Amino acid sequence: MSTSWQLEWHGGGEAWVVETDGTRATLHSTRQAAVGTPLSAAVADKPGVTLRFKVKDCRRVEDGLFVLVGRWVDLSRALREELVQEVGLR
């Protein structure tokens, strides 16, 4: 099982999917975001794949990253299954 998917935020910054159940997710991000913010990112090793994420909670952690908790928006069934299989819940 992969430890995470690397995302590249449109507008700058990176994030890594820490866990997901296919609907909700926890990300570690170099960028903070206010509650309710919709974010969009390219998947680093999957050209042409874009994920959309809506932020429910954001907090800074010790290493200078931010933990973003939220839900996926418009995630295809195939991509949802791939994410859950590769990252899943911890």
**pTM for this model (two decimals):** 0.90
Tell me the mean pLDDT in the region 65-86.
95
Residue with tokens 């449109």: 10
Percent of the chain with pLDDT over 90: 84
Q: What are the two backbone dihedrals, phi and then psi, of residue 12, each rounded to the nearest 5 degrees? A: 110, 145
> Would you list the domain boundaries of the chain?
6-86
- Cβ atoms of 21 and 14 within 8 Å: the answer is no
Rounded Cα distance, 79 and 56, in Å: 21
DSSP 27-89: EEESS---TT-EEEEEETTSTT-EEEEEEEEEEE-TTS-EEEEEEEES--HHHHHHHHHHT--
